[in-house]
A = this chain, B = another copy of it.
Amino acid sequence: MIPRYSRPEMTRIWEPENRFRIWFEIEAHACDAQAEMGVIPHSAAKAVWEKGNFEVARIDEIERETRHDVIAFLTNLAEYVGPEARFVHQGMTSSDVLDTCLAVQLTQASDLLLSGLDRLLAALEKRAKEHKDTVCIGRSHGIHAEPTTFGLKLASHYAAFDRARQRMANARAEVSTCAISGAVGTYAAIDPYVEEHVAREMGLQREPISTQIIPRDRHAMFFATLGVVASSIENLATEIRHLQRTEVREAEEFFHAGQKGSSAMPHKRNPVLSENLTGLARTIRAAVNPALENVTLWHERDISHSSVERVFGPDTTIALDFALHRMAGVIENLLVYPEHMQANLDRLGGLVYSQRVLLALTQAGISREDAYRLVQQNAMKVWQQGGDFLSLLKADPEVSGKVDAETLDDCFDPGHHTKHVGNVFSRVFPD
């Protein structure tokens, strides 16, 4: 992923230093297990831990010759460990190291993503509670529907990211497995105990059955989950973009003093972070199809999945990590304009209370069809000529003949729409 969309915490996971560090730990733990079983001398395992080391530049140098990264690493390791290095990696295949390492990296990445979600959840909870009772218009189809509160809007997104957190935890569990089972998964040259030991030490589950590699339906599920999380980000980002539209302007991304919205038009204040998040969501979702295609490998493995993972393993986790923190920042600093919310709410002259009028008329004994017609014909006047819906209704004898003024007034009380906010909040934020 390009630096512009990267945080160092996540980038580090995918750097050679971390990868080789994990390889070293896998090999050293495997030596412990092999020594425990009497396959190699205890002194060898001890030497690996005590003298073992590596240097990225040196490994690169060796790899340019051998064209095999695991061999290059082992060669460099041997330069530090000395003759006892011949006991390292015994009975293992490259994939044992590579796939277990990928599992560790994806687990580390998952933990970072979970902490990004936590930051976003905290921001949403704080702002939701702050605006629990800030009334604004709810819209369906982009058209004013009925009042709601800005807190409910944010609580709704909080709930989405709460689900995202659970999905991400499931995805983490999917990919956190260790396999050290040899060329085609039969443990022909290495005892299953080694796998068991390394798994435990590396904080992974054992893969119950592997071929040469860990099965790729796990990774498909992982990347598909990232795609769903990205979509929830796009959903929230789109809400911000809508609210910041010039004609709506109920909320706005924070605008620094001195910031320039446009080089040509000095008046501009654009929701560029949210727009960027929309694009990043597309970028993250791009990995879903390749990951699904990666599941089908020939027999005990082919290597077609590898290039996909080399690209999208880092790119997708880095982009999602970046996006979560950018999204959290947008929410933390969001400028909210309750007075604009009220102005928009009033814009349709009370049309947004049409359902209550409809119910009042039907409760007064008018058939639903007739009631609908009465309310709609008054509503259409407001759409066409503006004006105050309540006054029109009161002036319409067909309406006022059935429902008295007090009842009509009550229909326009926004309190009906906010009375259950507490109930909902208690479900979304359960203490």
Please tell me which one of the listed residues B139, B261, B292, B372 contacts residue A246 in the complex, with CB atoms under 8 A apart: B139
Which residues of chain A in 222-239 are interfacial with respect to chain B, using CB atoms and an 8 Å cutoff?
224-225, 227-228, 230-232, 234-235, 238-239
Q: Which residue of B lies closest to A250 (CB)?
A: B247
* A185 at the binding interface (Cβ < 8 Å): yes
- Evaluate whether A244 and B303 lie within 8 angstroms (CB atoms) in the complex, with A215-B159, A311-B1 already known: no
Which residues of chain A in 159-194 are interfacial with respect to chain B, using CB atoms and an 8 Å cutoff?
159-160, 163-164, 167, 170, 174, 182-189, 191-192
Cα distance A241–B296 in the bound complex, in angstroms: 12
Interface string of A307-339 (1 = CB under 8 A from B): 110111001000100000000000000000000
| B266 x A372 contact (CB < 8 A) | yes
Q: Could you give 13 example pairs across A and B, Cβ below 8 Å?
A: A142-B241, A142-B299, A142-B302, A159-B215, A188-B419, A189-B356, A217-B232, A234-B296, A239-B299, A267-B348, A278-B304, A286-B290, A288-B292
* A57 at the binding interface (Cβ < 8 Å): no
Please tell me which one of the listed residues B183, B248, B383 contacts residue A247 in the complex, with CB atoms under 8 A apart: B248
Interface string of A399-421 (1 = CB under 8 A from B): 00000000000000000111111
Chain B residues closer than 8 Å to A260, beta-carbon distance? 68, 71, 372, 376
Chain B residues closer than 8 Å to A234, beta-carbon distance? 295-296
Chain B residues closer than 8 Å to A68, beta-carbon distance? 260, 263
Chain B residues closer than 8 Å to A372, beta-carbon distance? 260, 266
Please tell me which one of the listed residues B138, B244, B267, B379 contacts residue A267 in the complex, with CB atoms under 8 A apart: B379
Q: Which residue of B lies closest to A222 (CB)?
A: B228
Chain B residues closer than 8 Å to A312, beta-carbon distance? 283, 286
Count residues of chain A with CB under 8 A from any CB of chain B.
152
Which residues of chain A in 7-38 are interfacial with respect to chain B, using CB atoms and an 8 Å cutoff?
none
Q: Which residue of B lies closest to A252 (CB)?
A: B383
A371 CB to closest chain B CB (Å) equals: 8
Interface string of A264-290 (1 = CB under 8 A from B): 111111111001101110110111111
- Evaluate whether A303 and B272 lie within 8 angstroms (CB atoms) in the complex, with A265-B183, A310-B2 already known: yes
Surface stretch bound by B, among A45-53, A102-110, A112-120, A204-212: A204-212
Cα distance A358–B173 in the bound complex, in angstroms: 37
